């Protein structure tokens, strides 16, 4: 919303200074500035770039990669060592850059700081740099500006502040009227908070908090804290890395002990150990994970979801609960007149954006033309005593003033009643602006031979002013109880209700135009306003429920409004699942256990403070949820920062919210989150496919050695052959597998349990099956070949080719955990198919290239041997396909997976 330009400072001097106080002297202000410091949010302390870079290497997976690089160097394999080194450095650079973005959230808060402030020093109103304000300064504020510090108001005239950035409450906050004498308690004086916007009126107050001690500063402090919520993928990968390290270490230790018992030389033991380490450690996994996440990031960007931190891709797919705010996320953040209730009970219900002719009229036999005529009379009374303005410009509409006034002007304009046209027939004579303590606004207009009076305000107030009501175009005696019931019924639906009346007086009014003339009015009816639910939200919430993701609303609005909006949005809840901020406060006082019990069932959280939103999110996490939090205001920033996944709105979201979030929705469309959940699940599924492929082949190679060495057989494969196998089978296929397309049923599955490890029952079973088929099958063939008189070199040549074929077949079966390769289609992932063909062609070329043949101990084989190896290698394909069929046909296995 655009606000009017402030008047010249000198024209406000008398109104703002009045006859009260002289404020601080310049000398007092200087001493206090030295004591309290400047009125600016503290800059976040950032680590040096070098320290940040070093910190990126504190990870078990990185330790394994470093070990792999060292092993490659010891083997004089400079190419592998260089490749792994590049991966490590790239990972460190990316991680360092991402960590530096954490400080941007606090820096973004600084953009909301008021650059200048109107302060009274030495009895004179002056405009100074807001950073020079100190506690005790007397500051003047006015419509259109931001409050420069936390101020305790001394007096206020029609002062209204938009505090939604701090509280989440969409309604503007009316400050109390003139407060001149000291209140019984300092705390009873109304406050204006730093960073909030003054939408109407003016006021003056004493600065009580500056910089970090303001409410805005407290939020900045929360954002500046390190986030203690890790993305699910990072948690799982840390556990996975530790597990792999222990398994590989244990297997190698066992083989070394067996080798010592067999009197193997130290050189042989060392070469075997490092060869197996390089083969079993999935050094290609970080790259494959990055590719999977990067591909999903691109897909999400096309769906208006911008990922700011790469692990957030998978984290969104892991969420089991979305804690969403209301204003601007589920709703349009545009207050709109949706209902008009005439005194005879006729309802005129309008969709968002609809003009009066398109509205639905409900009533007992009221002719539509008559109902519209009476509605136009009501909208005229809404438009004339109105302090807002609505102007159409080249780049759209510009609105100035209170959101309620703007909504009423918009409704009148859509009915063909622009205020400028009305005032041509009803020239303004006098105006009584809205005062919170009076609860009405009125205007007096010359028309024909009389003065017409138009009044808008609280229903109870206007009902008392009127003695008649408009019944089918006739002024009949007022039925106050009937009108109050109408108002209560509309408010129960979550509507903000205003009443309207009109009257008439003589041209020469005795005593001027004042409150004494607002009697014997005709009550015209009620208008209900609401911030409409986005049209796409109900379907998006249904999609979330289908995907097994719960949705909870966390808002600063009152419980009745929140429940009405939640029902319209499609949230499923009962009355006892509506929780208020007061209930949250009482639960917090009792301890975490009490709060966790409250959030275990709660689905609507209303009238909550910013700190409570963060407490709710953390409590949901303690209850076992991976929580995604949506928001757009400064008040949402702490929760966005500390949730498992923070989702900010891109269009109407504040910079603070965007910088605190992991994901930004560029179209402010809640439905885009569903697309993000889908892509997150695709990314995680692809990561699991890569992990399964790498671990099953690595485990098979370990089993091959664990069977051969204890039985006194020679090493099945030489270290250089293990390195070659690792290169040709895992160098390209894992990247291609990470780019696998969605399978189509991602949103029909229940979300993964937060405690679910990467190695679940399904993957463990599949790895064992694959390990036995490839490892034991390879050992059996090697044993038979040696028994039939093949030399060690010839047997290893055939065994190495068998494992190349095994791993190529395994790559095909890894494309889905449930669906058959025949259902997916062989050509659906051309990159994967090309990588398999390339790997096989590379190995065949090595068999015929002299220098590679010598290094790898390879040689060409006969067609009969090719047929035998292809038949043996295809066994892994059929075993995996059979297990997939079994999973699909047995619901118990499907649930276990």
In the chain, what percentage of residues exceed pLDDT 90?
22
Lowest model confidence (mean pLDDT) among 255-269, 346-360, 794-808: 346-360
Tell me the pLDDT tens digit for each residue of 512-568: 788 888 989 999 999 998 888 888 889 889 988 888 899 999 887 778 778 888 888
**Structural contact between residues 554 and 616, judged by C-beta atoms closer than 8 angstroms:** yes
Question: Is residue 291 very low, low, confident or very high in pLDDT (cuts 50, 70, 90)?
Answer: low
Residue ranges of alpha helices (H) inside 754-849 are 761-771, 777-787, 792-813, 821-824, 830-848
More confident residue, 874 or 510: 874
| 463-486 pLDDT tens trace | 999 999 988 778 899 999 999 999
Q: Pick the catalytic residue from 80, 325, 405, 632.
A: 325
Report residue 203 as tokens: 């006021």
* Residue 1: pLDDT band with limits 50, 70, 90: very low
Task: Tell me the per-residue pLDDT of 224-234, one tens digit each, with 9 for 90 and over.
Answer: 554 544 555 55
| Cα–Cα distance, 670 to 680 (Å, whole number) | 16
Instruction: Measure the N-to-C terminal CA separation of the chain; round to a whole number of Å.
Output: 51
Which residues, in sequence order, are CB contacts of 793 under 8 Å at separation 6+?
857, 859
Q: Does 355 participate in catalysis according to the annotation?
A: no
Q: Would you report the helix, strand and coil content of the chain in percent, each value rounded to 5? A: 55, 20, 30
Q: What is the pLDDT of residues 22-76, one digit of tens each?
A: 688 888 999 999 988 888 776 655 556 677 677 666 655 466 557 656 766 765 6
Q: Is 634 exposed, middle or buried (0-12, 13-18, 19+ CB in 10 A)?
A: buried
Beta strand ranges found along 537-634 (DSSP E): 550-554, 578-580, 604-606, 627-631
The single residue listed with the structure tokens 């089978």 is 729
Q: Are 637 and 223 in contact (CB under 8 A)?
A: yes
pTM (global) more than 0.85: no
Average pLDDT of the chain is: 78
Indicate the helix (H) or strand (E) that contains 433: strand 428-435
Which residues neighbour 38 within 8 Å (Cβ) at sequence distance 6 or greater? 131, 132, 211
Strand partners, 430: 444
Closest by CA position to 342, among listed 367, 368, 378, 369 = 378
């Amino acid at each position: 919303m655009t606000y009017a330009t402030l008047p010249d400072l000198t024209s406000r001097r008398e109104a703002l200074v009045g006859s009260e106080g002289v404020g601080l002297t310049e000398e007092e202000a200087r001493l206090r500035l030295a004591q309290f410091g400047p009125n600016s949010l503290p800059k976040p302390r950032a680590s040096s770039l070098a320290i940040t870079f070093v910190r990126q290497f504190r990870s078990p997976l990185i330790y394994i990669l470093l070990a792999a690089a060292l092993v490659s160097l010891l083997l004089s394999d400079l190419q592998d060592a260089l490749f792994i080194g590049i991966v490590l450095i790239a990972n460190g650079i990316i991680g360092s850059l991402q960590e530096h973005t954490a400080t941007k959230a606090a820096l973004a808060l600084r953009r909301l700081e008021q650059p200048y402030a109107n302060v009274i020093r030495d009895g004179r109103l002056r405009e100074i740099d807001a950073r020079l304000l100190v506690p005790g300064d007397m500051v003047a504020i006015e419509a259109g500006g931001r409050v420069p510090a936390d101020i305790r108001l001394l007096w206020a005239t029609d002062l209204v502040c938009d505090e939604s950035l701090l509280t989440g409450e969409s309604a503007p906050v009316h400050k109390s009227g003139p407060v001149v004498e000291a209140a019984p308690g300092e705390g009873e004086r109304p406050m204006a908070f730093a960073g909030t916007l003054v939408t109407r009126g003016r006021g003056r107050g004493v600065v009580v908090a500056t910089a970090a001690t303001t409410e805005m500063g407290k939020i900045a402090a929360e954002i500046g804290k390190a986030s203690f919520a890790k993305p699910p993928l990072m948690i799982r990968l840390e556990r996975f890395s530790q597990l792999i390290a222990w398994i590989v270490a244990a297997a190698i230790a066992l083989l070394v002990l067996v080798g010592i018992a067999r009197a193997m030389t130290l050189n042989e033991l060392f070469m075997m150990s490092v060869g197996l380490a390089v083969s079993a450690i999935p050094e290609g996994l970080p790259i494959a994970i990055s590719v999977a996440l990067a591909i999903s990031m691109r897909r999400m960007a096309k769906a208006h979801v911008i990922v700011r931190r790469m692990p957030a891709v998978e984290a969104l797919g892991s969420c089991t609960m979305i804690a969403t705010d209301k204003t601007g996320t589920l709703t349009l953040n545009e207050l709109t007149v949706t209902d008009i209730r005439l005194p005879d009970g006729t309802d005129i219900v309008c969709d968002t954006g609809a003009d009066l002719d398109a509205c639905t009229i409900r009533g007992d036999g009221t002719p539509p033309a008559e109902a519209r005529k009476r509605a136009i009379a009501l909208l005229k009374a809404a438009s004339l005593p109105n302090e807002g303005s609505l102007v159409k410009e080249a780049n759209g509409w510009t609105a100035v003033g209170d959101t309620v006034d703007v909504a009423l002007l918009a409704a009148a304009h859509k009915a063909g009643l622009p205020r400028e046209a009305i005032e041509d027939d009803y020239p303004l004579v006098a105006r009584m602006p809205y005062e919170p303590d009076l609860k009405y606004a009125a205007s007096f207009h010359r028309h024909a031979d009389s003065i017409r009076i138009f009044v808008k305000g609280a229903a109870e107030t206007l009902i008392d002013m009127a003695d008649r009501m408009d019944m089918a175009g006739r002024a009949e005696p007022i039925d106050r109880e009937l009108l109050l019931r109408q108002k209560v019924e509309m408010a129960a639906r979550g509507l903000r209700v205003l009443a309207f009346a009109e009257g008439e007086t003589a041209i020469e009014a005795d005593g001027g135009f004042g409150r004494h003339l607002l009697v014997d009015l005709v009550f015209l009816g009620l208008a209900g306003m609401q911030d409409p639910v986005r049209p796409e939200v109900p379907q998006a919430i249904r999609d979330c429920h289908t995907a097994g993701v719960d949705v909870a609303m966390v808002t600063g609005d009152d419980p009745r409004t929140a429940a009405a909006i939640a029902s319209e949005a499609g949230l499923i809840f009962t009355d006892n699942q509506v929780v208020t901020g007061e209930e949250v406060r009482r639960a917090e006082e009792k301890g975490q256990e009490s709060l966790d019990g409250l959030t275990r069932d709660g689905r609507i959280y209303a009238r909550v403070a910013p700190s409570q939103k963060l407490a709710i999110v953390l409590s949901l996490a303690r209850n076992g949820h991976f929580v995604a939090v949506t928001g757009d205001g400064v008040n949402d920033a702490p929760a966005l920062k500390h949730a498992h996944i923070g989702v900010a709105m891109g269009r109407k979201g504040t910079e603070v919210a965007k910088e605190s979030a992991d994901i930004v929705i560029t179209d402010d469309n809640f439905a885009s989150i569903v697309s993000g959940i889908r892509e997150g699940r695709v990314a995680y599924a692809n990561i699991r496919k890569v992990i399964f492929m790498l671990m099953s082949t690595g485990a098979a190679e370990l089993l091959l050695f664990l069977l051969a060495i204890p039985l006194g057989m020679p090493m099945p494969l030489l270290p250089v052959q293990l390195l070659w196998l690792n290169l040709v089978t895992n160098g390209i296929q894992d990247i291609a597998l990470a780019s696998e397309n969605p399978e189509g049923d991602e949103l029909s599955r229940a979300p993964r349990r937060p405690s679910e490890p990467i190695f679940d029952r399904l993957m463990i079973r599949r790895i064992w099956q694959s390990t036995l088929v490839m490892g034991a099958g390879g050992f059996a063939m090697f044993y038979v070949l040696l028994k039939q008189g093949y030399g060690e070199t010839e047997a290893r040549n055939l065994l190495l080719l068998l494992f190349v074929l095994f791993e190529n077949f395994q790559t095909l079966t890894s494309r889905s955990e449930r669906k058959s390769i025949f259902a997916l289609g062989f050509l659906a992932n051309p990159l994967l198919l090309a990588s398999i063909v390339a790997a096989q062609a590379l190995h065949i070329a090595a068999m015929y290239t002299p220098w590679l043949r010598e290094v790898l101990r390879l040689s060409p084989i006969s067609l009969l041997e090719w047929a035998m190896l292809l038949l043996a290698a295809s066994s892994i394909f059929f075993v995996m396909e059979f297990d997939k069929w079994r999973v699909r046909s047995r619901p118990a296995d499907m649930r276990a997976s």
